Amino acid sequence: MPQLLRVQNFCVSRDGFGAGEGQSLDRPFGHADPGAMMSWAGATASWPNRTDPGGSRGLDDYFTRDFRNNIGAEIMGRNKFGPQRGPWADHEWKGWWGDEPPFRTPVFVLTHYPRPSFALADTTFQFLDASPAEALDAAKAAADGRDVRLGGGVATVREFLDADLVDAMHVVVAPLDLERGERLWEGPDELTDRFHLESVPSASGVTHLILWRR
């Protein structure tokens, strides 16, 4: 089986923004409400941060539980990892995800500023100053034959799309507009010269867009 680079469970607004304006420690998605963007996933039985039993097992749950299916590594941009910019002032920040990040694989964080690797539970974070193609080579080597997830944010997804390195994308359109912030696209039709596109509405109100390389 070929190793794919896959974008999974990437949430955008109806008007194409993946994050709002003004990311900060208190507002990882800027002015966008992450709850409103991600509520479709939080309502499912397979949501990794779920603390109560229950949750839906319908269509949305298939996408939530596919998050780790056959994934051996993740690549993310520095702005997904944290709100800091420039050289690392200290190494205390270890991401948004607490002591048990949901990745449970090697994670490669793209940054121009060096920082030592560290592990949290089953996840290891490594910091790379590399081109998209170089980062993908490193992630595939670490993924033990499995696929690589491209975790975002928007600028990172755009960069890998521009380099034509993305094999498959699952993008979730939340039923809200953001009007400003980081734009993934005007709409998915921008990519249909290179990708097949299926659009699947869910009972929860979101629409799942599935794209894969032609």
Residue 58 vs 87, nearer CB to a second copy: 58
CB of 174 to a second copy, least distance (A): 19
Binding mask 60-89 for a second copy (x = CB under 8 A): --xx-xx--xx-------------------
CB of 48 to a second copy, least distance (A): 11
Closest C-alpha to 104, from 86, 124, 84: 124
What b-and-e string marks burial along 46-71, b requiring 16 or more CB atoms within 10 Å of the CB? bbeeeeeeebbeebbbebbeebbeeb
DSSP 8-state assignment for residue 16: S
User: How far is it, in rounded angstroms, from Cα 203 to Cα 201?
Assistant: 7
CB of 168 to a second copy, least distance (A): 5
Q: Which two tokens stand for residue 181?
A: 């912030």
User: How far is it, in rounded angstroms, from Cα 87 to Cα 79?
Assistant: 13
Residue 68 vs 140, nearer CB to a second copy: 68
Binding mask 142-161 for a second copy (x = CB under 8 A): --------------------
Binding mask 176-205 for a second copy (x = CB under 8 A): --------------------x-x-x--x--
Which residues in 26-65 contact a second copy (CB under 8 A)? 53, 56-59, 62-63, 65
User: How far is it, in rounded angstroms, from Cα 119 to Cα 105?
Assistant: 10
Q: Which two tokens stand for residue 170?
A: 């699952």
Instruction: Give the C-alpha distances (Å, rounded to integers) separating 160 from 25, 157, 199, 205, 211.
Output: 26, 5, 22, 29, 15
CB of 1 to a second copy, least distance (A): 9
Asked whether position 2 contacts a second copy by CB under 8 A, the answer is yes
- Positions that interact with a second copy (CB under 8 A): 2, 53, 56-59, 62-63, 65-66, 69-70, 168, 196, 198, 200, 203, 208, 210, 212
